[in-house]
Amino acid sequence: MRKSKHTWRILLLTALCCLIGASLGGTLAYADTSASSYNYSFWGRTVAAPAAYKAATVLDGKGLGIGALKDPSDMHVTPDNQIYLLDSGNNRIVVFDSQFKLIRTIDSFMRDGKQETFNNPQGLFVTPQKQLIVADTGNQRVVELDANLAVIKVIDPPQSELLNANFKFQPVRVIADQAHRIYVMSVGVFDGFMEFNQNGEFTSFIGANRVKVDPTELLWKRLSTRAQRSQMVMFTPTEFTNLDINDEGFIYATNGDVWGDTVKKLNAQGNDILRRTGYFNPKGDIRYTTEQGPGRLIDIDVTDSEMYSVLDGARGRVFTYNGDGHFMYMFGGIGNQLGQFKTPVAIERVGDDFLVLDKAFGEITVFKTTEYGRTLNEATRSYYRGDEEKAFELYNKTINMNANLEFAYSGIGKSLLRKGDYKEAMHYFEESYDRGNYSKAFLLYRKQVLKEHFPTIMTGIVVVVIAAFAARVLWKRKKLRRIRGVSIES
């Protein structure tokens, strides 16, 4: 009896797994695109688009006059456009100006009268006051130096009840907010980012990802015996892959979650407040082959006007979104041609130029905007500033260069909405399939029409009421006369 029951369980499990696998395979079997630049339509179709960025030059260590780069892992650009490059394999940080002229090299610092060096550092961050924060991974610490390279503090492996007894501190990415709290991404930490106060004391975790469950694996666990379940891997939250912070103190982060939200915007409480009103949630490519699988976002860069860009390490592509989550443009790829990479690891902006760091090649590729890219960027900025006239003009110019950019029609509609031209806004919202804003424009247009024609409407109603009242009075009088006439005759 027990053997028969076990056999039926296996058969049922096999059938269900086949069904689930077929279902998942159907959703993943998208045709990958080989286009150099594209967008996604409202219906999820890949549509060709003009290039927003083109590779202008490739810089390596020898060309920069600093010797060959060895496994570089991170970059940071300051508000005054100084470029900090983390040359991890050479245990140094190289600082350039915006034209890539060498300013200085940082490979050691003095601490308590002794010279100390970095050991395979993986991440860095520079505050507006030029305080340098380094994730000194090999030394299991975070080092903070002032503008003169004097030590401000060193964060060694923390001790806390919130940490496991076998916790190993391996910081790989760091940022700091305006209150000078330091947020650290550490290897093997699934509870979110580690938060340290001004004194370098560990206080809490922030922004932990929710646990995501593979349906097939969950089914296996449900149908397995207790002994079998004990040998299976526990469900754990997804690790973050990178983070950045904007001028307002909001943390933007990427993670390796294939099924959930791969991009997040965290407030001070660690809540995700990213707007996702685009056609698809920000995640890079939404179309891919089953064999290739989904991409993996490994870096994020936040710029002005709530625009942000993410780097897909698997495909070498950079995707840029506006503050509402609309996909603006992409560039890059894996390969040996100009504008392609082997192992991209970091992206940064210098003004409107993009820098992409390739770890394997030890190179930085500089991308510059085309006219299309500049126009779209400025249209987004104009709308963010509330300059409706400029945004309307630039979005129209963008559409003339790329009629397939459906969300630009929504941008025009929003500009018209702010200007009070609700009827025309409805037309553009309809073109962009923006149902939410179309409904909003429709309600405002209906209210506007009623307000404009209210005197006429009310006059008409009053006239109709008076006419109806007069007609009733006349009808009653005629009826009364008829009754009186009948009475006299009788």
CA distance 311 to 64: 24
Which H/E stretch holds residue 204? strand 202-206
The predicted pLDDT at position 331 comes to 97
- In which residue are the tokens 């930490």 written? 189
Are 207 and 250 spatial neighbours (Cβ–Cβ below 8 Å)? no
Q: In the structure encoding, which two tokens stand for residue 330, read together?
A: 């992409």
- Residues 230-272 have pLDDT tens digits of 444 444 456 899 999 999 999 999 997 777 789 999 998 999 9
**Helix locations, 231-310, DSSP H:** none
Task: For CA atoms 86, 92, 96, 102, give the dihedral sign.
Answer: negative
Amino acid occupying residue 488? I
Are 156 and 205 spatial neighbours (Cβ–Cβ below 8 Å)? no
Amino acid occupying residue 135? A
CA distance 298 to 262: 10
The DSSP-derived string for 20-37 is HHHHHHHHH-PPPP--SS
CA-wise closest residue to 252 among 156, 185, 199, 330: 185
Instruction: Give the pLDDT of the chain (490 residues) as one tens digit per residue.
Output: 444 555 555 555 555 555 444 444 433 334 444 457 999 999 999 999 999 999 999 999 999 999 999 999 999 999 999 999 999 999 999 999 999 999 999 999 999 999 999 999 999 999 999 999 999 999 999 999 999 999 999 999 999 888 888 899 999 999 999 999 999 999 988 889 999 999 999 999 998 876 555 555 555 555 556 555 444 444 445 689 999 999 999 999 999 777 778 999 999 899 999 999 999 999 999 988 777 788 999 999 999 999 999 999 999 999 999 999 999 999 999 999 999 999 999 999 999 999 999 999 999 999 999 999 999 999 999 999 989 899 999 999 999 999 999 989 988 998 888 888 988 889 888 888 888 888 988 888 888 888 776 677 777 787 788 888 878 878 877 777 777 666 666 5
**Cβ neighbours of residue 211 under 8 Å, at least 6 residues apart?**
235, 236, 237
N-terminal to C-terminal alpha carbon distance within the chain? 106
Considering the entire predicted model, what is its pTM? 0.82
Are 73 and 390 spatial neighbours (Cβ–Cβ below 8 Å)? no
The predicted pLDDT at position 381 comes to 96
Three-state DSSP at 64 gives helix
Are 88 and 346 spatial neighbours (Cβ–Cβ below 8 Å)? no
Count the neighbouring beta carbons within 10 Å of the beta carbon of residue 386.
Answer: 10
Amino acid occupying residue 438? Y
CA distance 406 to 434: 9
- Residues 26-38 have pLDDT tens digits of 333 344 444 579 9
